[in-house]
Chain A
């Protein structure tokens, strides 16, 4: 009797589980696994005279690793992503620290001020930077008004500097949010305990607050780095030819250049890079999650 009812409930849960899991499994299979499989397959094919030939080979990968063009762009992309990550952390951490520990009643309004830019379209923010940094833009106009410069400074716009600036502006909230959440989760009596044991503000920050905020810091840094890694609009809007990033190469290979196999090979490389970074951060997060 007992075993029967156990069986019944098992069968019920199995049917129930299947029912519940079917839509997401379908979704992931059709919209994620299938495209990735296609992309993976393409990366081992070739294109000749505008026709994709289904001949398995690794020449795309050979081309990728032998041509300095692609590797240079990949390294530049990672440099830009690293800069954006570092700058977002340098901006986001003090802000999150101030809001969590010092701001008091101003916390709410500051939080809204950080969130509001996220509601504004990426493109609008991109064009805003164009109007700020351009030759006849706000910044140059201001500098000339102050007679600090005679001619418009041209390197503000269409440079890696502009890309880093714009992406830092866009991704700082993404760094701020997990950081702020992790700082808010630090029990305040730990800070009191540290002071009680003789540690000043600096020692308390270095020994208690910073280590306990590492999971949030890591999550924020991962956001900024990976989102920058896949960005192709910032170089188009404010970057110019000198700051082409890897996603722009992929875009042109899939578009005007019509070399889907090479584009797929680059995509696979970026994907592997992203996955290994995610694994690394997850491993670090587990090490630093002190529960």
Chain B
């Protein structure tokens, strides 16, 4: 999984826990998933990222067993999963709205799974206590969920799922109901919990920052199909498609013509080892530099552009440049107000060719 060795949808050498084979799901005439194949390694933190309607929650519900795939198979640990009812799968879910049982105390919510699955009576109190301690909710054991705050309910939902020691934990946008600060804190706790327990996490979110912060790998879904599966660094540095480049972080898409190993974009040109024809390059805002009278490396692409707008955001300056009728986004880490026309440059190495 090093950046130089991109793995399209497999986890590399690690042991495969979950395998999704050509899974499609259709609701009436709407095709929500279009033959998705994906492998998840044991102990991995994989995020399904996508806009609403991209099919990420449907894929999660297929794995949990709340929906049946129209075609395709899901395997876990050498066992066919998609033919089992949800209560026979060693998979547990943290629901988006937590779905805690309002008539049961925190204690009874957490021990629910142990009791219905016939765990030996003597074993329950110990595991219950461990689970509550793990999420720091021991002192709330007797409370009913409606009396708890969002963050506390979140912890109970996590404990209720993890107490069953699932092989795979599914998390359906579990942090989306929390406010920004609590969200950051819970992200950290989730990540360290996952490392400690070594349980495989399949996390669904539409928030790319969250996906970047938490995941070992990100699987980006676009209208029911996988767009790219890669580590956060890989997917950011080498987006495969223009959609990925735009969805993960900000970017400038340069629609060029390549001829004889040279890409032309307006009056700019740089060497590109591609076959002749149209090519799209993704150029991250931070890849564009302001000359500032410094020496510009040889081979850099230089241009002059007018500054249309400048937004100060603490650690950086966000610029919008007007260049030959195009808009270019630039992020500079040298503070200071710029105006008028300035000289900028970028290295052709940072212009990444992407598919449409």
The answer to whether B116 and A190 touch across the interface, beta carbons within 8 angstroms, is no
The answer to whether A189 and B86 touch across the interface, beta carbons within 8 angstroms, is no
Give the contacting residue for A193; candidates B88, B95, B103, B146; CB below 8 A.
B95
Of B65, B88, B113, the most chain A CB neighbours within 10 A belong to B113
Complex Cα gap A198–B161 (Å): 11
For residue B49, CB closer than 8 A to chain A, the reply is: no
For residue B144, CB closer than 8 A to chain A, the reply is: yes
Nearest neighbor of B116 in chain A, beta-carbon distance: A199
Which of A81-89, A110-118, A203-211 sits within the interface?
A: A203-211
B331 to nearest A CB, angstroms? 41
For residue A135, CB closer than 8 A to chain B, the reply is: no
User: Number of A residues whose C-beta is below 8 Å from B?
Assistant: 20
The answer to whether A192 and B66 touch across the interface, beta carbons within 8 angstroms, is yes
B272 to nearest A CB, angstroms? 50
Complex Cα gap A197–B102 (Å): 16
The answer to whether A198 and B66 touch across the interface, beta carbons within 8 angstroms, is no
For residue A212, CB closer than 8 A to chain B, the reply is: yes
For residue A35, CB closer than 8 A to chain B, the reply is: no
Do A198 and B117 contact each other (CB < 8 Å), given the known contacts A192-B86, A193-B93? yes
Which A262-291 residues sit within 8 Å CB-CB of chain B?
288, 290-291
For residue B303, CB closer than 8 A to chain A, the reply is: no
The answer to whether A207 and B146 touch across the interface, beta carbons within 8 angstroms, is no
Residues of A near B97 (CB, < 8 A) are 187, 189
Do A192 and B99 contact each other (CB < 8 Å), given the known contacts A197-B164, A207-B116? yes
For residue B54, CB closer than 8 A to chain A, the reply is: no
Residues of B near A207 (CB, < 8 A) are 112, 116
Would you give the 0/1 interface string for A167-201, flagging 1 where the beta carbon is closer than 8 Å to chain B?
A: 00000000000000000000101101111111110
User: Number of B residues whose C-beta is below 8 Å from A?
Assistant: 26
The answer to whether B101 and A190 touch across the interface, beta carbons within 8 angstroms, is yes
For residue B241, CB closer than 8 A to chain A, the reply is: no
Do A290 and B102 contact each other (CB < 8 Å), given the known contacts A189-B95, A197-B160, A198-B87? yes
Would you give the 0/1 interface string for B62-104, flagging 1 where the beta carbon is closer than 8 Å to chain A?
A: 0011100000000000000000011110011101010111110
The answer to whether B112 and A194 touch across the interface, beta carbons within 8 angstroms, is yes
The answer to whether A212 and B102 touch across the interface, beta carbons within 8 angstroms, is yes
A72 to nearest B CB, angstroms? 41
Residues of A near B95 (CB, < 8 A) are 189, 192-193
The answer to whether A208 and B101 touch across the interface, beta carbons within 8 angstroms, is yes
Give the contacting residue for B87; candidates A190, A195, A208, A291; CB below 8 A.
A195
Nearest neighbor of A211 in chain B, beta-carbon distance: B103
Residues of B near A196 (CB, < 8 A) are 64-66, 86-87, 91-93, 161
Residues of B near A190 (CB, < 8 A) are 99, 101-102
The answer to whether B99 and A187 touch across the interface, beta carbons within 8 angstroms, is yes
The answer to whether B86 and A212 touch across the interface, beta carbons within 8 angstroms, is no
Which B30-62 residues sit within 8 Å CB-CB of chain A?
none
Do A195 and B86 contact each other (CB < 8 Å), given the known contacts A203-B116, A207-B112, A291-B146? yes
Residues of A near B113 (CB, < 8 A) are 197-198
Complex Cα gap A200–B91 (Å): 15
Residues of A near B100 (CB, < 8 A) are 193
Which B230-249 residues sit within 8 Å CB-CB of chain A?
none
Complex Cα gap A30–B156 (Å): 54
Residues of B near A195 (CB, < 8 A) are 65-66, 85-87
Complex Cα gap A288–B144 (Å): 12
Nearest neighbor of B111 in chain A, beta-carbon distance: A197
Residues of A near B144 (CB, < 8 A) are 290
The answer to whether B101 and A198 touch across the interface, beta carbons within 8 angstroms, is no
Complex Cα gap A207–B164 (Å): 18
A195 to nearest B CB, angstroms? 4
Contacts A/B (CB < 8 Å), 15 sampled: A187-B97, A187-B99, A190-B99, A193-B95, A194-B112, A194-B116, A195-B66, A196-B65, A197-B92, A197-B112, A197-B116, A197-B164, A198-B116, A203-B116, A290-B102
Q: List chain B positions with a Cβ less than 8 A from chain A.
A: 64-66, 85-88, 91-93, 95, 97, 99-103, 112-113, 116-117, 144, 146, 160-161, 164
The 8 nearest A-B residue pairs measured at CB: A197-B113, A198-B117, A199-B116, A290-B102, A189-B99, A193-B99, A195-B86, A290-B103
Given A195-B86, A196-B92, 17 further pairs, Cβ under 8 A: A189-B97, A189-B99, A190-B102, A192-B64, A192-B95, A192-B99, A193-B101, A194-B101, A195-B66, A196-B64, A197-B92, A197-B161, A198-B164, A199-B116, A212-B102, A290-B103, A291-B146
